[in-house]
């Protein structure tokens, strides 16, 4: 739900408003990556539901692939926010910031292509895919904490850090620590899936309040 709402609101607003060129609002260019992340999130949750309802080689591949793509798009989105094009409205970006932004996004692209190639054409290995997704997700967690720490005093960013960090840690326990199903229905993996939407709803509320409401991309949210 939060992924779909964010992506649709971005798509509607960007299609009905002129694209801004002023440096004062260019820090919101990172929202394009956030919107892409939301779109990939919609597909990841969709194919996860398909795979859990119909366990086939094709649905398994789609589930693993989009779970990994979602982790990578998370990483790209947070990098684009950590390294905005213009750190302040009155000054151009320093070269080091542009290099870091380009290098980080390029690294995410290389990771994405190489691992997807391994899944599609080498070996569909559940264990290896889990390791890669977990390591990537841990990287997303620390980068998210770094981004929120940069804005620590802004409108409850520390609350988002604590809530999302605690939720992610709890969800990871369910995903990595398996236990027999309770009443043949409730197992660790089901608890993991139940815990994930709330984390992104917390992040969504933060972006909606601190970014979307003050951006020309989302005038109807003001």
Say how many Å lie between the first and final Cα of the chain, rounded. 21
Nearest to 70 by CA among 10, 129, 126: 129
For residue 84, which phi and psi values (nearest 5 degrees)? Answer: -70, 160
Confidence of residue 22 (pLDDT cuts 50, 70, 90): very low
pTM over 0.75: no
Of 56-60, 103-107, 188-192, least confident by mean pLDDT is 188-192
For residue 82, which phi and psi values (nearest 5 degrees)? Answer: -70, -40
Residue 217's pLDDT is: 38
Residue 1's pLDDT is: 42
The domain limits of the chain are 2-221
Of 64-78, 88-102, 132-146, least confident by mean pLDDT is 88-102
Asked if 70 and 41 count as a contact pair (C-beta separation under 8 A), the reply is: yes
Asked if 28 and 221 count as a contact pair (C-beta separation under 8 A), the reply is: no
Confidence of residue 73 (pLDDT cuts 50, 70, 90): confident
What is the residue-wise DSSP string for 121-156? II---HHHHHHHHHHHHHHHHHHHHHHHHHTTTSTT
The predicted-structure confidence for 131-155, as pLDDT tens digits, reads as follows: 888 888 888 878 877 877 776 666 6
Angle at CA 193, nearest 5°, toward 190 and 196? 150
């Amino acid at each position: 739900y939060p992924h779909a709402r964010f992506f649709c609101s971005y798509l509607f607003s960007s299609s009905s408003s002129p694209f801004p060129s002023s440096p004062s609002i260019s820090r919101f260019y990172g929202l394009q990556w956030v919107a892409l992340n939301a779109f990939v999130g919609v597909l990841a949750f969709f194919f996860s539901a398909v795979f859990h309802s119909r366990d086939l080689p094709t649905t398994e591949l789609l589930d693993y692939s989009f779970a990994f793509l979602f982790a990578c798009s998370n990483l790209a989105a947070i990098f684009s926010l950590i390294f905005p094009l213009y750190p302040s409205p009155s000054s151009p970006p320093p070269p080091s910031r542009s290099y870091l932004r380009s290098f980080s996004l390029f690294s995410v692209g290389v990771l994405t292509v190489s691992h997807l190639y391994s899944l599609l054409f080498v070996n569909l290995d559940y264990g290896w895919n889990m390791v890669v997704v977990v390591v990537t997700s841990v990287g997303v967690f620390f980068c998210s904490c770094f981004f929120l720490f940069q804005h620590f005093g802004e409108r409850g960013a520390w609350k988002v850090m604590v809530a999302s960090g605690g939720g992610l840690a709890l969800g990871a326990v369910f995903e990595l620590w398996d236990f027999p199903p309770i009443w043949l229905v409730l197992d660790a993996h089901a608890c993991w899936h139940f815990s994930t939407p709330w984390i992104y709803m917390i992040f969504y509320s933060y972006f909606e309040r601190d970014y979307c409401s003050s951006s020309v991309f989302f005038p109807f949210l003001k």
